[in-house]
């Protein structure tokens, strides 16, 4: 209900902005935009067609641009950043978290990134360069270098007085990170412990030492799995020597989870996870051309298989009517398994240790579903075309395809993952082609043996 109300409110704002722009009353729009939270302005921009989006961006105060940029999709970030000079980019990103600045800068060419870094002060430049030194999709790129650390020998009273010297703590600070004199991670000191424990005890006596820090080279997916498993709000990040380099907070992990979910859904349709719903016609058409071309090639392959059985189709016209049913049922059955396995791989639940059990399970499921629906379709064929042989042919073909489809759906994403191909992107096209070919060969091949 809350989500529905938020969407309706967003649409109401868009209508209000449209009417105001048409009437030429820009002052209320400027006041509204610059009074909204940055994340809401970003959603308004992403929900606007190009003409309205351009007008709205011009009304945003420069001091708010950096806050808004961090919430925009990669495509929109790149669009606005490429229209700014390096000095302005450095100015609008000042004060943002290090990981957010790194995310923004990676939308720019390398030469421009170097120019922006030179325009920053030395402290910010050093922090951003440290984050950018790690590969994309790793914990190092997710982390924020803004941390508060203490030494084990201090008392809690000293720690509390040290914290009070700060104007504010970093967002989502639930623990103080404990390090030794070499900045090596030692443990975590929960804020709750500081508040309720005897102020004369030391950090060493109070801290938690059973927490494993996150390696900066760990993948984003592994990080999100750890946060989900342990219900973390934040976690320290260390390099290969155990030296503290930053921390990751739950808001960044949520972004990773949403991006992965969006990627999986859109990749199955051949779309990029940052696809702009209001991108110009030329860009949208260009992005979709390769996927449509791949589908055309696979459909030509399936059509080539059908052409091998033209004699049987010409003799028994019912074959042309019924053969799409066999292929379609196989495609649906395979897609169910494919989606389940891709999700299992993403969550780290499926691998070489349990894949044999999974394949056996899918084989049995395919047999059961195949027999049930083969009986129904066979009876339907006999009733409609008064041909018992045709009923048996389509029933056997259905069983064969319903067995093959889930096996392919289970094996295909594992194989694609092994050869470093995104299963969400390539799996659907390959699965559909395979189930179409198996269905057509089984149905039309059996028909050729019986009728020719």
> What is residue 143's predicted lDDT score, i.e. its pLDDT?
92
Identify the CATH number of the domain in which residue 360 sits.
1.10.357.20
408 lies in some domain:
yes
Identify the CATH number of the domain in which residue 82 sits.
1.25.60.10
273 lies in some domain:
no
φ/ψ region of 132 (left if φ > 0, alpha if ψ in -120 to 50, else beta) reads alpha
274 lies in some domain:
no
Query: Do residues 100 and 246 both lie within one domain?
Result: no
275 lies in some domain:
no
Query: Do residues 292 and 411 both lie within one domain?
Result: yes
Whether the CB-CB separation of 226 and 262 falls below 8 Å is answered with: no
Query: Do residues 439 and 417 both lie within one domain?
Result: yes
> What is residue 198's predicted lDDT score, i.e. its pLDDT?
92
63 lies in some domain:
yes
In angstroms, the CA 308 to CA 319 distance is 13
Q: Which helix (H) or strand (E) holds 176?
A: strand 175-179
Burial class (CB in 10 A: 0-12, 13-18, 19+), 406: buried
| Closest of 116, 111, 53, 114 to residue 84, by C-alpha | 116
Distances (CA, A) of 300 to 296, 318, 437, 441: 6, 22, 11, 15
Query: Do residues 103 and 230 both lie within one domain?
Result: no
> What is residue 242's predicted lDDT score, i.e. its pLDDT?
93
> What is residue 277's predicted lDDT score, i.e. its pLDDT?
64
Non-local CB neighbours of 261 within 8 Å, separated by 6+ positions = none
Query: Do residues 288 and 238 both lie within one domain?
Result: no
> What is residue 39's predicted lDDT score, i.e. its pLDDT?
85
Query: Do residues 109 and 243 both lie within one domain?
Result: no
Query: Do residues 136 and 158 both lie within one domain?
Result: no
> What is residue 319's predicted lDDT score, i.e. its pLDDT?
85
> What is residue 206's predicted lDDT score, i.e. its pLDDT?
93
- Mean pLDDT, contiguous 10-residue spans, the chain (452 residues): 56 66 69 82 82 82 87 84 87 84 84 86 85 90 91 93 89 92 94 91 92 93 89 93 94 84 66 64 74 78 83 81 87 87 78 82 90 92 89 92 90 86 78 88 89 77
Domain count along the chain: 3
Dihedral sign computed on CA atoms, order 420, 421, 422, 424: negative
Query: Do residues 214 and 315 both lie within one domain?
Result: no
250 lies in some domain:
yes
> What is residue 138's predicted lDDT score, i.e. its pLDDT?
93
Q: Which helix (H) or strand (E) holds 150?
A: strand 149-150
Distance of alpha carbon 449 from its chain centroid, rounded? Answer: 48
> What is residue 23's predicted lDDT score, i.e. its pLDDT?
63
418 lies in some domain:
yes
Query: Do residues 132 and 238 both lie within one domain?
Result: no
Domain residues for the domain of 94 are: 2-142
Query: Do residues 287 and 262 both lie within one domain?
Result: no
In angstroms, the CA 426 to CA 410 distance is 14
Q: Give the largest Cα separation in the chain, rounded.
A: 95
3-state secondary structure at position 95:
coil
> What is residue 295's predicted lDDT score, i.e. its pLDDT?
75
Query: Do residues 135 and 159 both lie within one domain?
Result: no
415 lies in some domain:
yes
Identify the CATH number of the domain in which residue 164 sits.
3.10.580.10
> What is residue 33's predicted lDDT score, i.e. its pLDDT?
78
Instruction: Note the pLDDT tens digit of each residue in 173-232.
Output: 999 999 999 999 999 999 999 989 999 999 999 999 988 999 999 999 899 989 988 899
* β-pairing verdict for 185-190 and 149-150: unpaired
Query: Do residues 68 and 176 both lie within one domain?
Result: no
In angstroms, the CA 118 to CA 123 distance is 11
Provide Rg for the chain, Cα atoms. Answer: 29
In angstroms, the CA 419 to CA 339 distance is 19
In angstroms, the CA 137 to CA 227 distance is 16
> What is residue 268's predicted lDDT score, i.e. its pLDDT?
61
């Amino acid at each position: 209900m809350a989500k529905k109300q938020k969407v309706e409110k967003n649409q109401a704002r868009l209508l209000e902005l449209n009417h105001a722009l048409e009437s030429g009353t820009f002052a209320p729009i400027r006041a509204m935009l610059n009074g909204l939270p940055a994340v809401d302005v970003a959603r308004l921009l992403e929900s606007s067609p190009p003409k309205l989006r351009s007008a709205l961006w011009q009304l945003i105060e420069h001091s708010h641009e950096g806050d808004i940029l961090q919430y925009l999709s990669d495509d929109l970030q790149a669009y606005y950043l490429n229209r700014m000079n390096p000095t302005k980019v450095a100015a609008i990103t000042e004060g943002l978290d290090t990981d957010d600045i790194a995310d923004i800068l990676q939308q720019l060419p390398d030469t421009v990134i170097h120019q922006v870094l030179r325009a920053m002060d030395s402290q910010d430049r050093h922090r951003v360069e440290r984050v950018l030194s790690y590969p994309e999709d790793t914990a190092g790129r997710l982390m924020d270098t803004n941390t508060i650390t203490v030494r084990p020998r201090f008392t809690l009273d000293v720690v509390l007085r040290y914290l009070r010297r700060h104007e504010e703590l970093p967002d989502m600070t639930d623990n103080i990170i404990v390090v030794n004199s070499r900045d090596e991670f030692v443990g975590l000191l929960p804020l709750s412990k500081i508040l309720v424990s005897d102020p004369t005890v030391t950090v060493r006596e109070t801290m938690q030492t059973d927490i494993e820090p996150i390696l900066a080279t760990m993948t984003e997916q592994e990080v999100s799995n750890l946060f989900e498993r342990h219900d973390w709000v934040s976690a320290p990040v260390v390099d290969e020597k155990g030296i503290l380099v930053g921390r990751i907070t739950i808001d960044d992990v949520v972004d990773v989870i949403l991006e992965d979910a969006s990627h999986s859904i859109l990749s199955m349709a051949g779309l990029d996870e940052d696809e702009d719903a209001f991108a110009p016609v030329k860009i949208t058409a260009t992005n979709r051309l390769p996927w449509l071309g791949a589908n055309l090639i696979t459909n030509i392959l399936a059509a080539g298989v059908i052409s091998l059985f033209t004699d049987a189709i010409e003799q028994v016209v019912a074959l042309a009517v019924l053969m799409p049913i066999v292929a379609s049922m196989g495609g649906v059955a395979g897609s169910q398994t494919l989606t389940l396995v891709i999700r299992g791989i993403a969550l780290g639940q499926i691998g070489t240790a349990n894949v044999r059990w999974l394949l056996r399970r899918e084989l049995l499921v395919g047999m059961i579903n195949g027999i049930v629906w083969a009986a129904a379709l066979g009876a339907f064929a006999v009733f409609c075309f008064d041909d018992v042989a045709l009923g048996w042919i389509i029933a056997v073909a259905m069983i064969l395809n319903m067995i093959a489809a889930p096996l392919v759906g289970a094996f295909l994403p594992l194989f694609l993952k092994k050869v470093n191909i995104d299963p969400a992107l390539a799996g659907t096209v390959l699965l559909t082609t395979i189930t179409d070919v198996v269905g057509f060969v089984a149905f039309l091949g059996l028909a050729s043996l019986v009728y020719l």
